[in-house]
Each structure stands twice: as structure tokens, then as C-alpha cells.
Structure 1
Amino acid sequence: MRFDQHTVVLLARPSHPPELPQDAIDRLQDAHLAHQAGLVEQGLVLATGPFLDTDDDQLRGFVVLSIAPEEARDLYANDPAVRAGRLDVRVMSWMVPEGNVRFEGVPIPRSMLEAAAGD
């Protein structure tokens, strides 16, 4: 059997994130979303989104990329929320039977305001 290999990034809240005022957290979230959208526009991200209703309140989001794990680590080291210590990055390879998972190119929000516009 053949397999497709993807790189997966789990975004997690650190045990002790820095305390910031809400407006700074909002700006960091917008910068994080813009960073994600830029990676999508470059064709590097195949799928991404936040987790909801999880038993692990540290897990925040999931990203599937078309690049090697080392490259993903480098890209996410530059994510503004990671640099600010508000998110940690866990990178791994994910293998699925060839053709088992397909991804469609869809735009993602570049800010919280844009994300809310879809409600």
C-alpha cells in the first residue's frame, strides 16, 4: 500500500503564557491569523482551523502542510503568537493511505473581524 505523508502542526497554549492586556491579545490573534493566511496564499497550508469542545484546553488549532516538518518548524517559529509566547508548536508527520484525504483550496480569515463576518 502507498501512503501520502503530510506535516501536521498542533498549536497549543503554553502552561504559563505571558499575561497581556486584552487589546494586545487581540492584536496578536489578528497577526497570527494573517500569518496563517499568508501561508495558505503561498500554497504551503492545506487545511487549518481551531479546535472546539476539546477535553484538553491547551490545544488551540491544527494545521496540515505540504512541506517537510523542519520547514514547518521554521515557518511557525515566525508566527507572531509563537514569538510572543502565547502559542507553542508541536510538529509531526502524518501518514494516510494514498488518496484517502483530499484538500480543497479555500480562503481563510486574515483577522478576527473577517472571521466574525461569516457568522
Structure 2
Amino acid sequence: MRFDRYTVILLTLRPDAPAMTDEEADERQDRHLAHGADMQERGLVLARGPLVDQDNERYRGFSIWSVDAATARNHAEADPAVRAGRLAVEVMTWMMPAGNLQFSRVRRPRSIADATTD
């Protein structure tokens, strides 16, 4: 059986994340979303999104990448929320039976305003 390999990144809230005002958090979130949208537009990220209703509140986001683990890590570590020390990057390889998943191009939120409008 053939398998497709994807790099998966789990973003987690760092225990030593710096405190921010609401305004700072919103600005950082907008830059985080824009970074992710850029990665998708370049074809590096196939799918991404926040994690909600999870057992562990440290888990913040999940993304599936089309590139090897080292390349994905380098781009994920350039995320403004990671560089600011708010989020940490966990990288792994995920294997699926070949052809099991298909990814479509969808609208990519670049800001909180984009993510909250229909």
C-alpha cells in the first residue's frame, strides 16, 4: 500500500507566554492569520485552523503542510505569534493511504475581521 506523507504542525500556548493587552493580542492575531494565509497562498500549507473545545487548552492551532518537516518548521517559527513567544511549534509527519485526502482552495482569513464575517 502506498502512503501520502504530510507534515503536521500543532501550535501550543507556551506556559511562559507574555501578557498582552487586548489591543496587542488582536494586532498579533491579525499578523498570525496573515502569515498563515501567506503560507497557504504559496502552497506550503494545505489546511489550517484553530482548535476549540479540546481537553487541553494549550492546544491552539493545527495545520497540514505540503513540505518536509524542516521546511515547515522554519516557516512556522517565522509566525509572529511564535516569534513573540506566545505559541510553540510541534512538528510531526502524518501518513495517510495515498489519495485519501484532497484539499480545495478556499477563502483564507487574513485578520480577525475576515474570520468573523460571512
SS at match of 2:93: strand
Distance (whole Å) between structure 2 residues aligned to residue 112 and residue 59 of structure 1: 19
Distance (whole Å) between structure 2 residues aligned to residue 28 and residue 98 of structure 1: 37
Correspondence 1:35 to 2:35: yes
Please list the CA deviations of residues 69-93 of structure 1 after superposition, one character each: whole Å capped at 9, or x if unmatched.
0001110111000000111110111
Please list the CA deviations of residues 23-53 of structure 1 after superposition, one character each: whole Å capped at 9, or x if unmatched.
1111000000000000011011111111110
SS at match of 1:7: strand
Please list the CA deviations of residues 5-26 of structure 1 after superposition, one character each: whole Å capped at 9, or x if unmatched.
0000001101121011111111
- Percent identical among aligned pairs is 47
Correspondence 1:91 to 2:77: no
TM-score normalised over the length of structure 2: 0.97
Structure 2 residue aligned with 1:66: 66
For the 8 Å contact 1:12–1:89, the answer to whether it is kept is yes
Q: How much is the aligned-residue C-alpha RMSD, in angstroms? A: 0.7
Structure 1 ranges of 4+ moved more than 6 A: none
Task: Count the aligned residue pairs.
Answer: 118
TM-score normalised over the length of structure 1: 0.96
For the 8 Å contact 1:40–1:107, the answer to whether it is kept is no
- Structure 1: gaps of 5 or more residues: none
